């Protein structure tokens, strides 16, 4: 293990790192143009869901820092009252009253869930891992929410209403194709990428299981835990094997794309959706 393979750095510094992350792979999966926007920090744009998710993560995983990062604000974001409040609390994220209550409710739902609460213990939060992908030679990074000392990585997901349900979550683990009005979450790719990355950075093979704690963002803020791990005989999960192939395919595509960048910057190449006229065919049966 090299000295810099595992780093205790801020989330901001982690996202400034040039190595490739799973979110970079997701952006590339959408288009090479989205990848460039993501690398520049321009996509996706922060949203209310992003704010709530970060606050819940901080409250559960880095609770000692919560009051330094967040503050409860006015009832809404309208008028001079809110602007003055933000100015006075510069350097902290302002949550309006309803958002503050939402974060509290989601946090308590996780803490009151026996399995989720147990998973939060015996672990180190927000460690950043860096490694070189052996297939492509590209530098990669990941930042699991929790690295447990029993060979398990844990990720906290704040999901839409119904998103923690076993069948819905299973779809987002297995699915790797974009569909209308459904985000491409690729949770299975995340598990394979993170497990491989942590093992590579630590020069070990002890991390074999990935568990998600999913908490819904709407009342009653239901929680459910989901896992990918070895079978009863200790053999690697076939879903992990399949999703490893997916992320390696992404990295190989990115390797080719990155080689094209000089031509693009010289105006000799095009970046975006495929340069062809796509024929619209009949309904699929």
Q: What is the 3-state secondary structure (H, E, C) of 240-254?
A: HHHHHHHHHHHHHHH
d(CA 191, CA 239): 9
Q: What is the pLDDT of residue 3?
A: 47
Among 69-78, 100-109, 179-188, 196-205, the least confident range: 179-188
pLDDT at residue 262 greater than cutoff 90: no
Residue 241: left (phi > 0), alpha (psi -120 to 50), or beta?
Answer: alpha
Structure tokens at 218: 């709407």
Helical packing angle, 97-111 and 48-61, nearest 10°:
40
What residue ranges define each of the domains in the chain, with the CATH number in brackets? 17-41+114-265 (3.90.320.10), 46-112 (no CATH)
pLDDT per residue over 69-80, tens digit each?
999 999 999 999
d(CA 22, CA 176): 13
Share of the chain above pLDDT 70, in %: 95
pLDDT per residue over 197-216, tens digit each?
999 999 999 999 999 999 99
d(CA 48, CA 70): 14
């Amino acid at each position: 293990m090299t000295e810099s393979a595992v780093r205790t750095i801020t989330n901001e510094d982690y996202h400034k790192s040039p190595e490739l992350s799973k979110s970079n792979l997701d952006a590339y999966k959408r288009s090479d143009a989205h990848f460039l926007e993501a690398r520049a920090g321009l996509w996706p744009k922060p949203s209310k869901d992003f704010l709530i998710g970060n606050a819940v993560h901080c409250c559960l995983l880095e609770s000692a820092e919560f009051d330094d990062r967040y503050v409860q604000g006015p009832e809404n974001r309208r008028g001079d009252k809110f602007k003055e409040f933000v100015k006075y609390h510069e350097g902290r994220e302002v949550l309006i009253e309803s958002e503050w209550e939402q974060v509290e409710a989601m946090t308590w739902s996780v803490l009151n869930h026996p399995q989720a609460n147990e998973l939060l213990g015996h672990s180190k939060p927000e460690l950043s891992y860096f490694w070189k992908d052996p297939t492509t030679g590209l530098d990669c990074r990941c930042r699991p929410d929790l690295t447990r000392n029993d060979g398990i990585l844990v990720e906290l997901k704040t999901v839409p209403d119904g998103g923690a349900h076993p069948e819905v979550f299973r779809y987002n683990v297995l699915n790797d194709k974009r569909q209308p009005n459904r985000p491409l979450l690729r949770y299975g790719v995340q598990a394979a990428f993170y497990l491989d990355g942590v093992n590579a950075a630590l020069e070990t093979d002890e991390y074999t299981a990935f568990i998600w704690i999913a908490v819904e963002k709407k009342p009653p803020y239901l929680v459910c835990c989901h896992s990918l791990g070895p079978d009863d005989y200790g053999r690697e999960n076939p879903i992990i094997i399949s999703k490893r192939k997916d992320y390696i395919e992404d990295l190989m595509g990115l390797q080719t794309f990155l080689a094209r960048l000089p031509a693009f910057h010289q105006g000799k190449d095009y970046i975006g959706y495929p340069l062809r006229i796509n024929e619209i065919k009949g309904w699929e049966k």
